[in-house]
Structure 1
């Protein structure tokens, strides 16, 4: 399937304003692998707000949970020996102290190589219908395989190379035998990691207690923010859905949207043409490498579906613990929640012909943005309250000093035409 003629029509306009994307940053090396402390332990199912039935339904029949499998998965998650040079573990990009993110715009892997995607949290990932920002994996098992063999993440030549490395250690031969009754192998390795990740639920927030009937669990600012969230701020268009039974488990719609995040940095039309052959190949490893290592990352969901309407569309992230998972968006380009709200408030994306129809100027005033931040802060689980307080103070200080995405004129202006050629 070729792209429609409309791509050619907009190509000149996009290329005129889009500079060449910079090469991925190179670092001296990956950060130290985090230790498996208390926040790394499997979570209790007795959390306020945890949906018991949905949690049980998220366990696949072909990979039932067992204590031995979960313990092996946790061990693997924090072990650098899973990578080609023993320097990178799953926890490198998914640190429990940072709500299983890494605090970086984009993650750093073996030999200090940096990709082009921000590390999403693993917390509550068991509820996701798809994994990764572009949904290129359907299950946690599929997701676990790809970073191991990506050259800028763990760098193994293939999954079997990782298995051979681990099988050299008696501790792993014994752990696999105990969990699966057989020697280490690739599929069981992935099953173990996924089993551990399915224990990482995170609820027990002030907002959960508010929904449960405690009117004093959140302050008045957060309450006003919740009203705005469902009304003039239009957040519920993607983060809960405005129907009779909105999904308040993770505040997401399990869909993909083009929200206009810095799309004009990239020559997306030539990239889309180049990507068509790659998508047609059906090679999941090569698509993964394109998403992480190349400028094709900007194409988002298109790398999976090859649909024009999916160009630069990315998965709606959940909002639980969002305060402690900065920076934001698929490329980590926004440092604070105020930056995120400024982006939406101005209806960003004027030169983006694939912009989601719900992105439009909101006309929210500063005190209303503060209320929305207060609401999002109330989604912080109790185990992250200390980090949340520090992070809120840090972000507030940054927001008072610099607001690079604020545009009051556009925020309070009329909804622009999709053919508007104004400044992006």
Structure 2
């Protein structure tokens, strides 16, 4: 089945992005990519994933029951791009996670089957291998678990059930034999998710100019970007939540975003039913942040400048505003100690309690300049398959 990648299969929507002016990741089923500066390599029986500089192999999460292999990654890549995984053959994973948008979606919220709009912005899949809990609210405990849900979500890919999806895929002879070769058994939903997860774990970003600077190249950043880094780690308090190689604490925070609207998204609370999670959303990675607009869980900000303005104002007041938005600056060690002690109180936070950063216009510009240095390498070469199994 050959797909004309230069057309949109869903008129009026983001569709499937084709005709990518990118290099080649796969030659047949072989992953062949190297980076100018490589930190570490993840080696498997017949597969090697090279991690760009700045990423930490120790943080790479791989379930014991889903080892990587060339053929599994290639199968997952094909499934990722295949719109036949949806009820009307128009929506694929790439519909909402496009390589042209650093594997995110330029829309505020994505469009699924029948052009139905979702209720949250599609986050990038880049560096998902460094995170266990998935979705803005963390309701999926692994990448494999997460991948099963959009398939049967009525506003996304809208398959009536996993069973019907499995039958649909198994009825495609090319997929049936491919699954048998990779997993030594018939098509099932767990293996389908494992294959796509294996592919997604190869979509990484590192070796950014920031990483070169941290490795000792003082010329990698200009003066404005260096000032922005100093603000990021200091006055602007960004690193309290955006820390580590992937620039996320993997925790959930209430910034008050959309609290001033009629319909408030309660975030992680919808999943946990814990008061401390009301309005809390997961800290996203800042890797490739310059390429993944719009921002926040609801895609409300179109630019980094707008996003920085929100933080500079101290967020939006609400009774459950994150404690980090209302207290004096603390070190990372103090912050971790706070959470380890199980502190979860949420006192009221009127406007007077908001902790404004008081960044000047120049400081805000410097901070944005630094954020743009987090664009790196490791994903730009990924292209759609030349054909789909029949």
TM-score band w.r.t. shorter chain = 0.7 to 0.9
TM-score w.r.t. length of structure 2: 0.79
- 4+ long deviations beyond 6 Å: none
CA positional deviation for 1:309: 1.6
Q: Structure 1: any 5+ residue segments left out of the alignment? A: 1-26, 241-246, 269-297, 386-424
Report the counterpart of residue 49 of structure 1 in structure 2: 54
Is structure 2 residue 153 aligned with structure 1 residue 150?
Answer: yes
Aligned length, in residue pairs: 320
Secondary structure in 2 matching 1:362: coil
- CA–CA distance in structure 2, aligned partners of residues 163 and 194 of structure 1: 17
Are residue 250 (structure 1) and residue 216 (structure 2) matched? Answer: no
Bigger CA drift: 60-69 or 35-44? 35-44
Q: 1:53 to 1:267 in 2, by over 3 A?
A: closer
Any conservation in 2 of the 1:73–1:195 contact (CA below 8 Å)?
yes
Following superposition of structure 1 onto structure 2, how do residues 156-235 of structure 1 map, counting pairs within 5 Å?
156-235=159-238
CA contact (8 A) 2:86 2:158 kept: yes
C-alpha displacement of 1:382: 4.2
CA deviations over 1:215-252 (Å, ceiling 9, x no partner): 10111111100100111111112111xxxxxx1x1111
Counterpart for residue 368 of structure 2: 373
Q: Say which of 253, 260, 277 aligns to 2:256.
A: 260
- Residue 29 of structure 1, CA deviation: 5.1
For residues 11 and 259 of structure 2, the distance between their equivalents in structure 1, rounded to whole angstroms, comes to 29
Write the distance in 2 (CA, Å) between the matches of 1:383 and 1:183.
33
Q: 1:336 to 1:71 in 2, by over 3 A?
A: same
Per the alignment, do residues 356 and 261 of structure 1 end up closer, same or farther by CA in structure 2, a change over 3 Å counting?
Answer: same
Partner SS state of residue 242, structure 2:
coil
Q: 1:90 aligns to what?
A: 93
Task: Assess if the C-alpha contact under 8 Å between 2:86 and 2:157 holds in 1.
Answer: yes
Q: Name stretches of at least 5 consecutive residues in structure 2 with no aligned partner.
A: 1-9, 26-30, 35-49, 326-354, 381-390
Note if 1:32 corresponds to 2:35: no
Tell whether the 8 Å contact from 2:204 to 2:379 is kept in structure 1 after alignment: no
* Residue 285 (structure 2) pairs with residue 318 (structure 1): yes
Residue 28 of structure 2: aligned partner: none
Kept after mapping to 2: 8 A contact 1:28/1:112 = no
TM-fit CA distance, 1:28: 6.4
Match of 1:353 among 314, 319, 322: 319
- Structure with more of its chain in helix, by fraction: 1
Partner Cα distance (2:58, 2:315) in 1: 38
Matched, 1:306 2:289: no
Deviation readout 1:45-76 (Å, 9 max, x if unpaired): 15221323333xx1111111111111110000
Q: Distance in 1 between matches of 2:269 and 2:203?
A: 30
Shift of 1:340: 0.3
Contact 1:259-1:348 at 8 Å conserved across structures: yes
Q: 1:148 to 1:39 in 2, by over 3 A?
A: farther
| Alpha-carbon separation, structure 1, partners of 2:55 and 2:94 | 24
SS in 2 for 1:378: helix
What TM-score do you get using the length of structure 1 for normalisation?
A: 0.72
User: Please, what is the CA RMSD of the aligned residues?
Assistant: 1.8
